[in-house]
Amino acid sequence: MKTCSRCDSSLDDDARYCVECGAPQTEDAADELNKYVQRQAEQVAAESEGDDDSESGFIPTEELTDREQLWRRGCYVLGYGTIVIALTRVPAAESWPLILGGIAILPPIRRLTAEPLGSPLKREVMAGIYAVFALIGITLFVVLG
């Protein structure tokens, strides 16, 4: 019988690892453990490289955010532009739906709709509302103008 060099448990003479604490009891076993640990480390490294890959998967998300920002800016330009043009037409009938449409497409309005509805209306919905009001405004302009 011999005892474990680490925890003093009684071990068989030919035991390569301690049954209690797992400490290697021979140089071969220590080598083997080292190689095993190294393999595990390499695997972990490979896995974290995989994580890097999934991080580069964030790029589409960032692109989406860019697109979202672009959309936001577009909405502001379109909304304010429409309102400014509509204000020059006041008090003509077509100015009012254009003003409403211009307000509807402004991003903060979308956020306001989030409160009563639980989630903000889709951008497409706001764009649709804008399109309807703009169409009404243009129709009134053509018919009455």
- Binding stretches for Zn ion (CB under 5 A): 4, 6-7, 9, 18, 20-21, 23
Rounded CA Rg of the chain: 35
Q: Which is nearer to Zn ion, 20 or 51 (CB)?
A: 20
Query: How wide is the angle at C-alpha 140 spanned by C-alphas 135 and 145, nearest 5°?
Result: 130
State the minimum distance, in angstroms, from the CB of residue 6 to Zn ion. Answer: 5
Closest CB to Zn ion among residues 24, 79: 24
C-beta closer to Zn ion: residue 18 or 86: 18
SS3 call for 76: helix
Distance CA 122, CA 120 (A): 6
> Least distance to Zn ion from the beta carbon of 7, Å?
3
CB of 48 to Zn ion, least distance (A): 31
Which CB sits closer to Zn ion, 14 or 47? 14
CB 107 within 8 A of CB 120: no
The position carrying tokens 């204000």 is: 87
Q: What angle do CA 49, 68, 51 make, to 5 degrees?
A: 10
Closest approach of Zn ion to the CB of residue 2, in Å: 11
- Residue 20 DSSP code: T
**What is the closest distance, in whole angstroms, from the C-beta atom of residue 19 to Zn ion in the complex?**
8
Helix, strand or coil, per DSSP, at residue 114:
helix
Identify which of residues 9 and 113 has a Cβ nearer to Zn ion in the complex.
9
